[in-house]
Amino acid sequence: MQNFTYKNPTEILFGKGMIREIAGRVPKDTGVLFLYGGGSIKKNGVYEQVTAALAGSRVTEFCGIEANPLFETCLKAVETVKKEKIGFILAVGGGSVLDAAKFIAVAACFTGSDPWAILKERGANVKAALPIGTVLTLPATGSESNGNSVISRKTTQEKLHFYSPHVYPRFSVLDPETTFSLPAKQLRNGIVDAFIHVMEQYATFPAHAPLQDRMAESLLQTLIEVAPAVLKKHNDYESRATFMWSATLALNTLIGCGVPQDWSTHMIAHELTAFYGLDHAETLAIVLPGVWQYKLTAKKKKLEQYGQRVWHVKTAKEAMMKTEAFFHSLKMPTRLGDYQISAKEAARKVRERLSERDSVFGEHGDITPDAASKIVASRG
Amino acid sequence: MQNFTYKNPTEILFGKGMIREIAGRVPKDTGVLFLYGGGSIKKNGVYEQVTAALAGSRVTEFCGIEANPLFETCLKAVETVKKEKIGFILAVGGGSVLDAAKFIAVAACFTGSDPWAILKERGANVKAALPIGTVLTLPATGSESNGNSVISRKTTQEKLHFYSPHVYPRFSVLDPETTFSLPAKQLRNGIVDAFIHVMEQYATFPAHAPLQDRMAESLLQTLIEVAPAVLKKHNDYESRATFMWSATLALNTLIGCGVPQDWSTHMIAHELTAFYGLDHAETLAIVLPGVWQYKLTAKKKKLEQYGQRVWHVKTAKEAMMKTEAFFHSLKMPTRLGDYQISAKEAARKVRERLSERDSVFGEHGDITPDAASKIVASRG
């Protein structure tokens, strides 16, 4: 087992009716930014529940955070924060709104001249942030209980992430009922996103960490088991509750303690989203099988273990086939061709972009721009 | 799944050499109480590592915290805290030292006339505590990452626990190398203690929580798998690391989120320790099979699931036999007779003590003093 430090101070408020619990947790002595996305929360009752819980607070609303939240939009929110003397951000929505809240919280306290530097330096230059609370309505990213955020820049077609211990939410409400109104596509995306978050921390090489392995496999098995009910039963509380808690534990950084981590699938997939606008989970499902194929020898032992324990098959190849079949069972495509995107062109763009940044990825640090390009080329 | 709140702010510093990380985390502007037990840390190099890391702090040592830490000893430490103007407690040792630190931290801030009230009210009257850091040297209780403490009172032969969100350690160092010098008995005790902590949160009734079930089973499987190496290989870093991390996750309260919990084994076992001075884990191993036998119908489904997934046997009865055999394989007795204690007398004492307090235990609240007495009587 590798040495590690682990600290996750976010308070989870889980279950039906828990939105009301934010009442005692949002400060009354400063302005509150109520941040949300396209307005779906006005159709499913969440907006009303949040507004009721915020009674007595000075609230400024900011809506319009998009999927793959934009740097440009966040900067407008930072202006509002400064103008309205905001001291607390309440993010209500999915990972995009939560990630935006984290960037806004940091940018509002940032003393440098260009806030894009927060992303270019991956958060290393972050010294402070406004406190954040969240109400999660889309299980997927784990952003409700970690210090990660991913932000896109429209003008340059870039998508970068940062991490800071300052942006863990103070609290996150996870009420499974808020997911009842989600469209099938977002549920599918959330399942695949959580599944691949686990894989980034698991499908590497054996590292004397049997507990972490089993906990990762527990998440994979549970996501596979619960997926059909999540997609088919629209008001089934129990399956949504299990999905929601699984997605949080998939990326609250616990299962990654003491083990090697990959993240090359995410890094390459971010580029595909930046260039082509595909959903985050869609690009992950395209890239993961390519990374596994490319790194088959190095990942063989863990993929065999995964296949044997989770799918009851023998070989790494069979485990890979089962995984793609699982994605297809959720109606999630796994090829660029499924979106009429040229793999050759995408491979060229990814190579150029990653070469500019001199990026290398993966648990062995050997996914060079050239390797990433080959992986993308293989996903036509 | 049941509604829950979960918050665990303790920073874990895990791995070899991590004791030095406390240097930046212990305050320099107040007195530090360096709390430890019988002095074993002076033989295994831990004392020197801690002392080096505390360079520059004003340190007062307090040693002599016993196994099953005594209220009477803790009160002496509280006097030292007040006299020396202590503002931070560093507990170095096993669960006993950590539990004592928590009580001392609370008692030093307690404004009531009798600090025993903290235990009688189970911590409900706790409003503040001195900050605590820990260096764990004996994996077992999970005290390094929770808000629980168990304290015994010599004069009245009582053993009571309290919980407070104020006593989660700020940080806990878990260096597996500090366990190399532990005697076999303490290792055996630690494995059984962690195993039964999982069971208290798992062996109840099905509650639509497949992820929590699998995570609990992951811990059980891992403890079973790693136990022989922990007991036989004295300087094997990897098995000690897995054991240490498993014991922490067994009772950092995560696997208990959203599920029914039992704890009747602990409540009854505490009485046996209070009356007869057996080690905590020894009394747990005696009581658990009795609780399972007594509640066999109510627990049948979960015990079957446990048997099938962890031991690959079919029935609850077989799962129970496998569990006792596992304890015996660790040289852990499971009967009062093994200690020349009369089950009849113990049953009478337990009935009297629990009747005085009107206690009922268990996930259905149906382990009355009479039921507890029958359970103890069955363990002769």
Residue A4 forms part of a structural domain: no
Distance, in Å, from the CA atom of B2 to the CA atom of A6, rounded to the nearest integer, reads 26
- From first to last of its 380 residues, chain B has per-residue pLDDT tens of 999 999 999 999 999 999 999 999 999 999 999 999 988 999 999 999 999 999 999 999 999 999 999 999 999 999 999 999 999 999 999 999 999 999 999 999 999 999 999 999 999 999 999 999 999 999 999 999 999 999 999 999 898 999 999 999 999 999 999 999 999 999 999 999 999 999 999 999 999 999 999 999 999 999 999 999 999 998 999 999 999 999 999 999 999 999 999 999 999 999 999 999 999 999 999 999 999 999 999 999 999 999 999 999 999 999 999 999 999 999 999 999 999 999 999 999 999 999 998 889 999 999 999 999 999 999 99
Residue A363 pLDDT:
97
Hey, is B87 helix, strand or coil? Answer: strand
Pairs of CB atoms within 8 A across A/B: 115
Contact B18/A at CB under 8 A? yes
Residue B41 pLDDT:
95
Contact B206/A at CB under 8 A? no
Residue B131 forms part of a structural domain: yes
Can you read off the two tokens belonging to residue A233? 């039963």
Residue A371 forms part of a structural domain: yes
> Residue A219: its chain B contacts at CB < 8 A?
211
Distance, in Å, from the CA atom of A35 to the CA atom of B86, rounded to the nearest integer, reads 44
Same domain membership, residue B353 and residue B278? yes
What is the distance in angstroms between the Cα of B182 and the nearest Cα belonging to chain A?
Answer: 20
Which of A4, A211, A222 minimises the CB distance to B14? A4
> Residue B16: its chain A contacts at CB < 8 A?
3
pLDDT exceeds cutoff 90 at A234: no
DSSP string covering A217-229: HHHHHHHHHHHHH
Contact A241/B at CB under 8 A? yes
pLDDT exceeds cutoff 90 at A39: no
pLDDT exceeds cutoff 90 at A191: yes
Residue A359 pLDDT:
87
Can you read off the two tokens belonging to residue B61? 């040592």
Say which CATH number the domain at B192 has: 1.20.1090.10
Q: Please state the separation of Cα A289 from the chain's center in Å.
A: 19
Residue A169 forms part of a structural domain: yes
Contact B235/A at CB under 8 A? no
Nearest CA in chain B to A6: B12
Residue B1 forms part of a structural domain: no
Residue A1 forms part of a structural domain: no
Q: What number of CA atoms fall less than 13 Å from residue A331's CA on the CB side?
A: 8
B238 to each of B15, B180, B245, how far by Cα in Å?
A: 10, 11, 11
Same domain membership, residue B85 and residue B45? yes
Among B177, B208, B229, which residue terminates a domain?
B177
Interface test with A, best of B211, B220, B248 (most A CBs within 10 A): B211
Same domain membership, residue B227 and residue B122? no
Which of B13, B210, B218 minimises the CB distance to A5? B13
CB contact under 8 A, A218 and B211: yes
Dihedral sign, Cα of residue B351, residue B356, residue B357, residue B360: positive
Same domain membership, residue B368 and residue B229? yes
Which B residues, 134 through 193, put their C-beta within 8 Å of a C-beta on chain A? none
Nearest CA in chain A to B16: A3
Same domain membership, residue B168 and residue B208? no
CB A255 within 8 A of CB A212: yes
Q: Please state the separation of Cα A119 from the chain's center in Å.
A: 16
pLDDT band at A38 (very low <50, low <70, confident <90, very high): confident
Q: Which domain holds residue B192?
A: 184-377
Same domain membership, residue B107 and residue B63? yes
Distance, in Å, from the CA atom of B75 to the CA atom of B66, rounded to the nearest integer, reads 13
Interface test with B, best of A218, A259, A305 (most B CBs within 10 A): A218
For residue A99, which of A126, A129, A68 has the smallest C-alpha distance? A68
CB B137 within 8 A of CB B93: yes
Same domain membership, residue A319 and residue A250? yes
CB contact under 8 A, A5 and B16: no
Contact B6/A at CB under 8 A? yes
> Residue B249: its chain A contacts at CB < 8 A?
211
Instruction: For residue A365, count other CB atoms closer than 10 A to its CB.
Output: 9
Residue A294 pLDDT:
98
How buried is B162 (Cβ within 10 angstroms: 0-12 exposed, 13-18 middle, 19+ buried)? buried
Nearest CA in chain A to B210: A222
Same domain membership, residue A107 and residue A256? no
Contact B360/A at CB under 8 A? no
Residue B357 pLDDT:
85
CB contact under 8 A, B218 and A226: no
Residue A103 pLDDT:
98
Among A152, A177, A202, which residue terminates a domain?
A177
Q: Which residues contact A84 (CB under 8 A, 6 or more apart)?
A: A31, A33, A60
Same domain membership, residue A188 and residue A42? no
Kindly report the three-state secondary structure assignment for every residue of B90-108.
EEEECHHHHHHHHHHHHHC
What does the pLDDT look like over A138-149, one tens digit per residue?
999 999 999 999
CB contact under 8 A, B3 and A16: yes
Q: For the whole model, what pTM was predicted?
A: 0.97
Residue A308 forms part of a structural domain: yes
Distance, in Å, from the CA atom of B184 to the CA atom of B203, rounded to the nearest integer, reads 27
Same domain membership, residue A346 and residue A209? yes
Place of tokens 């990897």: B238
Q: Please state the separation of Cα A372 from the chain's center in Å.
A: 21
Same domain membership, residue B117 and residue B203? no
Among A155, A177, A199, which residue terminates a domain?
A177
What is the distance in angstroms between the Cα of B223 and the nearest Cα belonging to chain A?
Answer: 9
Distance, in Å, from the CA atom of B97 to the CA atom of B251, rounded to the nearest integer, reads 17
CB contact under 8 A, A241 and B18: no
Q: What is the mean pLDDT of residues A108-131?
A: 96
CB contact under 8 A, A249 and B9: no
What is the distance in angstroms between the Cα of A153 and the nearest Cα belonging to chain B?
Answer: 34
For residue A94, which of A215, A181, A7, A200 has the smallest C-alpha distance? A181
> Residue B208: its chain A contacts at CB < 8 A?
238, 241-242
Same domain membership, residue A91 and residue A16? yes
Q: How many domains does chain B have?
A: 2
Residue A187 forms part of a structural domain: yes
The ipTM value here is 0.96
Q: What is the mean pLDDT of residues A300-312?
A: 98
What angle (nearest 5°) sits at the alpha carbon of residue B124, between those of residues B123 and B126?
Answer: 65
Can you read off the two tokens belonging to residue A178? 């808020």
What does the pLDDT look like over A242-267, one tens digit per residue?
999 999 999 999 999 999 999 999 99
Q: Which residues contact B89 (CB under 8 A, 6 or more apart)?
A: B32, B33, B35, B81, B101, B104, B105, B130, B131, B132, B133
Contact B11/A at CB under 8 A? yes
Say which CATH number the domain at A27 has: 3.40.50.1970
